[in-house]
Amino acid sequence: MERVLSNELSLHVGERIHMAGWMHRIRKLGSGMVFVHLRDRAGICQIVVESPEAVASIDGLLVESVVEVEGTVVAEPQAAGGYELHDPAFTVLARVTEALPFPISKPVINAHLDTFLDHAMVGLRAPAKQAIFRLSAAAAHGFRSVLDAKGFTEIATPKILGTASESGANVFAIDYFGKKAFLAQSPQFYKQIMVGVFERVYEVAPVFRAEPHQTIRHLNEYVSMDAEMGFIKDHTTVMAMLTDVIRGILSSLADHCGRELELLKVDMPLAPEMFPTVYFPEAQEWIFEHHGEDCRNEPDLAPQHEKWLGEWAKQTFDSDFLFVTGYPMVKRPFYTAPNPADPRYSNSFDLLFRGTELVTGGQRLNSFEDYAAALEARGMTQEAVASYIETFRFGMPPHGGFAIGLERFVMQLTGLANLREAALFPRDMERLAP
């Protein structure tokens, strides 16, 4: 007999069926009656256990025991979902006899994040936790399908590198057969190189940052959704593409993740056709005028500034997204293209999502001469990035791209208090397990 999932009971009313899953909740009423909530990958349904034999067969089992059950589907208005299983016969597949480190069947899990993460192996089974990662998977899927439809090719670039190229200080060094190697802090060089091959490429993969940060919005390993495209006018071409990607992800979530969005009470973001845009120095002026903080000589925005700008975008433009363009060249990596009208500023952008940095992107340099000059200006040698800049000697179109932090996206979407909650098994300065 084929296994029926918990969301398929309505198709089998009156039939004798087989189900299997975890005993999510066990409610014993006196005089022998027991309600068992069975959890499988599709959801949760209820089993009514009344016969003394059936009650005896699950005696001593604690929640998360795995069972197979044969029973009769009954339409029952009193049951959540309207259907339940009667006259069950259980087969125990895995017996649990000790209590969980913390209860996972309550709507709210009462455990500190640190405690939760220590026991993420079982904690992640909680429906509300599952929902976070189903959304995460759906967001990555949405990213891929939008870009697939726009002629992008998915690539897989190496995560073990021979040179700590981009900035040097914040990469993890590893031993590679006796040679020094580094974990990739971004696929930046390779995705640009691959623009020379495919014009449009993307990658969804982990990146590694050795930054010693200790905040609610940083991880030392996270999933970066990178895209890079050739034949652009300037960074605004990239911003338009990014806008389509974000809007595409959101509509795909709305279409396919209704259950998760509802369970997590997600407030769907305001994402207008055109995201509002503010030029970096103007953003600083605005902050000075409206919040009295003079950051006009700073080369970057502080988290508090981004929060203010996010609120402003929402109130003024009905948008949870805000582009900040033209970050000063001094704060951008060497491959960044300057603003031709004012070379102090760059043709790059950040996308703020509800006041937190979600995406960085921009136009890149594309001529070899520009790379040679940029490296020299920063005191870097061509040798250090030899195979990368060789690309630009052999014909590279104007190009640019962006990188979305997947966990950041999910955190801001669902209103999580800590980025670690958006990673299955987060890596931070202190945590290497599980």
Contacts with RNA, 225-264, as mask; x by CB under 7 A: ----------------------------------------
Give the binding range for RNA (CB under 7 A) out of 197-205, 230-238, 357-365, 386-394: 357-365
99 binds RNA (CB under 7 A): yes
Rg (CA), the chain: 26
CB of 395 vs RNA, minimal distance in Å: 27
- Which residue, 136 or 224, has its beta carbon nearer to RNA? 224
72 binds RNA (CB under 7 A): no
What token pair was written down for 393? 């000697």
d(CA 188, CA 227): 9
56 binds RNA (CB under 7 A): no
What token pair was written down for 46? 């209820």
If phi > 0 it is left, if psi is from -120 to 50 it is alpha, else beta; for residue 168 that is left
CB of 401 vs RNA, minimal distance in Å: 11
Binds RNA (CB under 7 A): choice among 62, 121, 149, 386: 62
DSSP for 362-393, please give it: EEB--SHHHHHHHHHHTT--TGGGHHHHHHHH
d(CA 426, CA 223): 11
Half-sphere exposure of 260 (CA within 13 A, CB side): 23
Task: List binders of RNA among 359-418 (CB under 7 A).
Answer: 359-360, 403-405, 407-408, 418
Binds RNA (CB under 7 A): choice among 168, 303, 415, 434: 303
CB of 304 vs RNA, minimal distance in Å: 6
Other Cβ atoms within 10 Å of 113 Cβ, number: 13
209 binds RNA (CB under 7 A): yes
Task: List binders of RNA among 180-199 (CB under 7 A).
Answer: 186
- Which residue, 115 or 176, has its beta carbon nearer to RNA? 115
Binds RNA (CB under 7 A): choice among 11, 13, 33, 373: 33
Asked whether 82 and 103 are in contact (CB, 8 A), the reply is no
Task: List binders of RNA among 263-302 (CB under 7 A).
Answer: 300, 302
CB of 88 vs RNA, minimal distance in Å: 12
Binds RNA (CB under 7 A): choice among 68, 72, 101, 120: 101
28 binds RNA (CB under 7 A): yes
Binds RNA (CB under 7 A): choice among 63, 146, 257, 309: 63
d(CA 223, CA 205): 5
Binds RNA (CB under 7 A): choice among 161, 183, 184, 219: 219
Contacts of 391 (CB under 8 A, 6+ apart): 192, 193, 196
Task: List binders of RNA among 320-339 (CB under 7 A).
Answer: 331
- Which residue, 222 or 388, has its beta carbon nearer to RNA? 222
Alpha carbon separation from 49 to 10, 12, 71, 84 (Å, rounded): 20, 19, 10, 11
Alpha carbon separation from 326 to 3, 336, 343, 348, 363 (Å, rounded): 57, 11, 10, 6, 11
57 binds RNA (CB under 7 A): no
CB of 292 vs RNA, minimal distance in Å: 17
d(CA 318, CA 325): 19
# binding residues, RNA (CB under 7 A): 72
CB of 299 vs RNA, minimal distance in Å: 7
Task: List binders of RNA among 104-163 (CB under 7 A).
Answer: 106-108, 110-115, 117
- Which residue, 220 or 391, has its beta carbon nearer to RNA? 220
d(CA 54, CA 28): 13
d(CA 80, CA 43): 12
CB of 432 vs RNA, minimal distance in Å: 10
d(CA 101, CA 71): 31
427 binds RNA (CB under 7 A): no
